[in-house]
Amino acid sequence: MITALLLFWPALAALLVLLVKGEGAKKVAFMAALVEFALALFAISGFNTGSGSTQLALSFPWVEQAGINFSIGMDGISLLMVLLTTFLVPLIVLSSFSHRYKNPNVFYALILFMQTGLIGVFVAMDAFLFYFFWEVALIPVYFIAAVWGGADRIRVTFKFFVYTIFGSLFMLAAFVYLYLQTPGTHTSDVNAFYQLALDAGTQSWIFWFLFIAFAIKMPIFPFHTWQPDTYTESPAQATMLLSGIMLKMGIYGVLRWLLPVVPLGVSQWAELVLVLSIIGIVYASVIAIRQRDLKRLIAYSSIAHVGLIAAGIFTLNQQGLQGGVIQMLSHGINVVGLFFIIDIIFSRTKTREITSLGGITQSTPALSIFFMILLLGSVALPLTNGFVGEFLLLSGVFQYNNWFGAVAGLTIILGAVYMLRMFQGVMFGTRSEFTENFADLSLNEKAVLIPLVVMVFWIGLFPNTFLSISEPAVINLLNVINR
């Protein structure tokens, strides 16, 4: 029952927000998002962290004649993704309080509708239900970006929509085929897909149909070209939703629907995916070094981080998979914090050009500290959240291939280069005309950043809090893959 509440509460709250006129909509949306986070915390109390199986499950016929069920539930991986989503959405809503958007009730209702889609993706245990929520999550963020985005928003959001729909059609085709291969009365249950014994040739093409859909959403090289423009032109809250949570849908899809369903296809193509991921790490890092726009720099850094996550996952060893799960949490926290700080800087200066900024730290001790902590988490400084995930990921890649590990490790060096250069250019030096009267953080802005910084250190200092939740599910996943 708690899983159903987690799924449907944001949608019900969104309908309520639509009825609220004016700026009161943001307060109602924030309170609704806090209730959702409380439900997620309550779900932990009924969750057996020692089990790798699906828990808190609910299933009833959806399209009964076709054997399609409304089947939802959570294992440790799902639970962590739900916790990440419900933790970040209230902060994303709160981060918008200093902005005034046209039709605020629609804006905040779309955020909550998107949360329903995101939660649905992470708890769906039926292939067509997963596909349904995959598409549901896309529609609200498309309208948020298209209506409240930048000057080039129409072209950019259209490109984003075409890319993701293109990938989704491949996924749907693969699901339909798998559904037809289930014996007897056909079913689209995830466990039935796991038990299919398909030949290597069939698994090979299904691998690519599913992989293309997930790779576009993540995104990894060379399926990434929609991402920098979309992140740049979208309003800050849409960028946070896309980078902090939505790209995790692609990684989660790999873990839930790709690796265990077509293990022979994965073994055939894993090395190529590793090569593409590592190329993406180096390519995106080099492009990030050359960026002068703050948003585009963080967008390319996100591609590099996701490339390392993908590389670790496709090593198919426990360190790589555990590193991928914990790094999804860490990346979501860090990237939302960094994009929020960029939004703060832009709202005060009306520019994101690094060369137009400088000297901000002279009058902003609080901003400087929060900015530096999130930056150090992003570059994987020991005792921060980024270190735990990157250590496990690189350990997994090194186990797979030493040369791959050595090249993938460049992400730490190159990441430090572009992030520290960005911080130096923005925060140090002499003040410019844009930063002459730069004000420090408001109470509302601190309220967003403090929980993020707490999580940076919590994951960095006490990683077993989260690793212990995902470990049984990861072991169970490996057992299914190696069946």
Task: Encode pLDDT of 4-32 as tens digits.
Answer: 999 999 999 999 999 888 888 899 999 99
Which parts of the chain have pLDDT scores under 50?
none
Given the DSSP bridges, would you call strands 55-63 and 68-74 parallel, antiparallel or unpaired?
Answer: antiparallel
Let me know the angle formed at the C-alpha of 17 by 137 and 20, rounded to the nearest 5 degrees: 150
> Which phi-psi region, left, alpha or beta, contains residue 196 (left: φ > 0; alpha: ψ -120 to 50)?
beta
Q: Is the dihedral angle over the CA atoms 343, 344, 350, 356 positive or is it negative?
A: negative
Annotated domain spans of the chain: 1-166+224-242, 268-483
Instruction: State the pLDDT at residue 331.
Output: 93
388: helix, strand or coil: helix
Residue of 482, 483, 88, 481 whose CA lies nearest to 255: 481
Instruction: State the pLDDT at residue 12.
Output: 94
Instruction: State the pLDDT at residue 330.
Output: 93
Biggest CA pair distance of the chain: 73
